[in-house]
Amino acid sequence: MPMHPSWEKIQENFKQQYGDRWEEVFWAWMNEHGYDETEPAEGQIKGEECKKEEEDKERRYGRPRTDEERAMRHFGLTEEEWNELTEDEKNELISQLPPRGAGLGAPKEEEGGEEMVVEYLEQLIKEMEEALDQLENALEKKRISELPTT
């Protein structure tokens, strides 16, 4: 069966975020979550995705994220995982966050010079490579778990 049209916007987001590797990352994500591309996306994407959408709406209406919220989102941690960390571990992650507003776009050359732009782009590449590695690992685990046992 063909893919439901509601997945097109999601695919476009993957294309923008991952470039040439978007399709590989998209299917790894679909498989990891067990989504069915022949059914509408809206009825399947729940939980963390919905929670993030609600947080985004709330933030747009005036409440900035706390450092804890920023760290959880930046490092891909659930609230349960965050609560398992010690205060020192939490503070260490918060100290590694990019400056507020850095996610709104790359710094302009006139604001920090070319060196700052290069550093920003290198950080983005590193984060995308780490996210891709996580998806590849999850996909490999899924493939291994689906191998027939003797």
- The predicted-structure confidence for 83-139, as pLDDT tens digits, reads as follows 999 999 999 999 988 877 666 554 454 555 566 667 777 888 888 898 898 999 888
Residue 36 confidence (pLDDT) above 80: yes
Q: How many CA atoms within 13 Å lie on the side-chain side of 9? A: 4
pLDDT computed for residue 113 by the predictor: 57
pLDDT computed for residue 13 by the predictor: 83
pLDDT computed for residue 59 by the predictor: 56
Q: Among 140, 133, 150, which Cα is nearest to 32's?
A: 140
Q: Among 43, 105, 107, 100, which Cα is nearest to 73's?
A: 100
| Cα 39 from Cα 27, distance rounded (Å) | 15
Q: Where residue 55 falls among pLDDT bands split at 50, 70, 90?
A: low
Identify the three-state secondary structure at position 139: helix
pTM of the model: 0.34
- The predicted-structure confidence for 102-113, as pLDDT tens digits, reads as follows 665 544 545 555
Domain boundaries, the chain: 1-51, 109-150
| Cα 101 from Cα 94, distance rounded (Å) | 15
Residue 28 confidence (pLDDT) above 70: yes
Between the CA atoms of 136, 140, 146 and 150, what dihedral angle is there, to the nearest 10 degrees? 180
Q: How many CA atoms within 13 Å lie on the side-chain side of 84? A: 5
